[in-house]
Structure formats: C-alpha cells, structure tokens
C-alpha cells in the first residue's frame, strides 16, 4: 500500500459523551480513517467506545496517547478552556489535530495554534462540521451565483434548553455560555455563506451564574456582495429552534429544523424561495456531517487537498464573538 494511502490512525483525547455518540463513530465509519485509540483514566467510560470498536487501544492518560507512535491524528473533545493547551501539545507530539469548537477562548489565542501548525507542517483544525454539509455548500453556491439577488438581511437563531447545572456549558470556568457553544454557528454560517465580516455590532446579553444564557446580536456586515443587516439569537434556556435566513432583493435562502445539528435535531434541508411562491427544496436525509468532516481532514493529510475550513476562517468567527462580548450590554 502506498504510504499516502494508508488510513489515518486516529486517537480520541478524552471520553466525552459527544465523542462517544457522534465523533468517534464518525471516525470509525469514515473513508481513509481508522479509530485506533482512546485516552481516559476511567475504564468504564471506554466501554461505550469499545462497543462499536472492540480493537480500540485504551491509554490511561492523555500524555500516553500523544506518545503513541502509531497514532497520526488526535481528536480533542475536552472542555473549551483546555482546547488551546492540548491542541499545542498534540502538534508538539507530531500529531495532526482536530479540536472541538471553539478551539480557543479568544481570537488571539488561535494565532499560536496557527504558528505551531505552520512550524510543524501538520494539519490543525477546528471541528466546525457544518461547512462540510451539502446543505450549507448549496446555500453558499446559490448565494454566490446570485439566486437571491443582492443580500439585504441575514437572520439566524439557535436555541435549546440546557437545565443541567453541572454541564460544562453552564460553567464559566470551563468556557461555557451560548456564544461560545452555539454563537460559532450563528456567526460562522453567515460568514461562510456570504464571505462577509462585521462592520458594526451591538448586543444584549442575559447572564446566569457567570455565563451568557441568552444573546441577541444586531449589526451590519460587508462582503463581496455588499453590505447587509444582520441579526442573531442564541439561547441555552429556550425550546429547540434552529433557523437561518438570507433574504435578498430577488429571493431568499432558508435553512430550518436541522441547519446545525443536521438529521439529529431535525431533517437537513435548504430552501430557495423565488418569484412569489416558487420554492426549490433540497433534502439530505442520510448525510452525516461528522463523517464528512473526518473524510475532509483525511484527504488533506493523505492527498494534500486544501482543508475547507482553515484556522484563519475560525479566527474570524472567534473575533466576532470577542467583539460581541466587548460591546454587549446586560439585560
């Protein structure tokens, strides 16, 4: 077998529930990948991974996994405040690294990961899976070819009700809050589709126990298609809702139900509204965006294909989050 075509051997750094439920199965199923190892100090937590991958090697420490010479790539699902530290350690150990979002707590922290990536010539990326999903690629395509004319307004909402007080997303010390958890989607999806960056932003935040449980953002963005107004809402205290709308002079692109948690929260589909009542709908009932993400990562490692979501894009979304925190008023 050619060296470039050997499967990428993956290790998972931590037995997080999300890793067990979504990302580890995606790695196991992905073309060009082999789920080879897991690091956890609790053998009981490894059982859920070994149920679908019986050959999995279990390391008792994170350091032991990074020292494993048979591992090519590391997936990091640790709490937010640990992402930068372990991303840098993985790169220093000679491993490619895919780290859960947000990869950092501040945009400036991403600079050191970019520097380490460039220095080591390894792939480092944030697990921003939606850009790999065909519903978002189609939305971007429709926008770029002018199907909706000139964009006038973009509006995005993402909410769910997280009442579990001990959850890391409800703790300030672990980098919790709605903007870091799901603002990456409401901000990043708009930047991805339009290529625009914020010109002016204002925000209102409701805080509970030191984290932003609700955030409402309004502003102006500008990109290749010109200026448009922008609005978003994120909440961890409301009923499930996911919707993104891009409204132009000649039509509208709408993703609702499962734009972010595709085929988990709801069916993934994208709509193009034009000429009064004409609606084009494309559905993707069998697509697994986590698997597509891993396969894109593998192709970059094995074949040298450019990765679709580089850290420079990720830094832009984090900079937008940072800016919202800076300008927000409490309500």
Query: Tell me, what's the pLDDT at 1?
Result: 41
For the chain, percent of residues with pLDDT exceeding 70: 99
Q: What residue segments make up the domains of the chain, in order of their start?
A: 3-127+291-307, 130-287
Q: Which whole number is the average pLDDT over 182-190?
A: 98
Q: Degrees (nearest 5) of the Cα angle 153, 313, 147?
A: 35
Query: Tell me, what's the pLDDT at 263?
Result: 80
Beta pairing partners, 269: 283
Asked if residue 134 has pLDDT above 50, the reply is: yes
| Averaged pLDDT score across all residues of the chain | 96
- How close are the terminal C-alpha atoms of the chain, in Å? 61
Instruction: Report pLDDT digits (tens) over 71-82.
Output: 999 999 999 999
DSSP assignment string, 100-123? PSPS-SSHHHHHHHHHHHHHHT--
Distances (CA, A) of 197 to 192, 221, 275: 10, 5, 29
Query: Tell me, what's the pLDDT at 65?
Result: 98
pTM for the model stands at 0.96
Instruction: Report pLDDT digits (tens) over 305-317.
Output: 999 999 999 999 9
Q: What is the CATH number of domain 3-127+291-307?
A: 3.40.50.720
Within the chain, what is the greatest distance between any pair of CA atoms?
Answer: 61
Q: Which whole number is the average pLDDT over 290-308?
A: 97
Q: Which whole number is the average pLDDT over 236-263?
A: 95
Query: Tell me, what's the pLDDT at 228?
Result: 98
**Residues 54, 28: contact at Cβ < 8 Å?**
no
Q: How confident is the model at residue 264 (pLDDT cuts 50, 70, 90)?
A: confident
Asked if residue 257 has pLDDT above 90, the reply is: no
Q: Which whole number is the average pLDDT over 136-147?
A: 98
Q: Which whole number is the average pLDDT over 224-235?
A: 97
For the chain, percent of residues with pLDDT exceeding 90: 94
Exposure of 154 in the CB half-sphere (CA atoms within 13 A): 31
CATH of region 130-287, choose from 3.40.50.300, 3.90.1640.30, 3.30.360.10, 3.30.530.20:
3.30.360.10
Q: How confident is the model at residue 266 (pLDDT cuts 50, 70, 90)?
A: confident
Q: How confident is the model at residue 4 (pLDDT cuts 50, 70, 90)?
A: low
- Separation between Cα atoms, residue 233 and residue 235, nearest integer Å: 7
Exposure of 226 in the CB half-sphere (CA atoms within 13 A): 11
- Separation between Cα atoms, residue 326 and residue 284, nearest integer Å: 38
Asked if residue 188 has pLDDT above 80, the reply is: yes
Instruction: Report pLDDT digits (tens) over 24-64.
Output: 999 999 999 999 999 999 999 999 999 999 999 999 999 99
Instruction: Report pLDDT digits (tens) over 8-18.
Output: 999 999 999 99
């Amino acid at each position: 077998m050619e060296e470039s075509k050997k499967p990428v051997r993956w290790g998972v750094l931590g037995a997080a529930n999300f890793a067990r439920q979504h990302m580890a199965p995606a790695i196991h199923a992905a073309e060009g990948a082999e789920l080879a190892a897991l690091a956890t100090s609790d053998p009981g937590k490894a059982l859920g991974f070994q149920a679908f991958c019986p050959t999995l090697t279990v390391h008792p420490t994170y350091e032991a996994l990074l020292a494993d010479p048979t591992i090519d790539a590391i997936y990091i699902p640790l709490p937010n405040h640990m992402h930068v530290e372990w991303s840098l350690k993985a790169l220093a150990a000679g491993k490619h690294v895919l780290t859960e979002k947000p990869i950092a707590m501040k945009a400036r922290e991403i600079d050191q990961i970019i520097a380490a990536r460039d220095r080591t010539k390894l792939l480092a990326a944030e697990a921003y899976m939606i850009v790999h999903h065909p519903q978002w690629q189609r939305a971007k395509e429709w926008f770029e070819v002018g199907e909706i004319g000139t964009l006038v307004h973009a509006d995005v909402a993402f909410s769910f009700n997280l009442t579990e007080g001990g959850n890391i997303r409800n703790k300030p010390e672990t980098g919790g809050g709605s903007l870091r958890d799901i603002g990456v989607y409401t901000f990043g999806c708009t930047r991805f589709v339009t290529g625009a960056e914020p010109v002016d932003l204002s925000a209102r935040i409701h805080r509970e126990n030191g984290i932003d449980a609700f955030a409402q953002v309004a502003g102006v963005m500008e990109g290749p298609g010109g200026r448009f107004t922008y609005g978003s809402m994120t909440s961890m205290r409301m009923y499930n809702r996911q919707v993104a709308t891009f409204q132009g002079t000649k039509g509208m692109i709408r993703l609702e139900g499962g734009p972010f948690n595709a085929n988990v929260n709801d069916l993934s589909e994208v709509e193009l509204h034009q000429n009064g009542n004409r609606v084009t709908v494309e559905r993707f009932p069998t697509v697994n965006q986590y698997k597509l993400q891993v396969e894109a990562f593998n192709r970059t490692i094995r074949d040298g294909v450019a990765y679709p979501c580089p850290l420079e894009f990720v830094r832009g979304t984090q900079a937008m989050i940072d800016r919202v925190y800076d300008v927000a008023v409490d309500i």
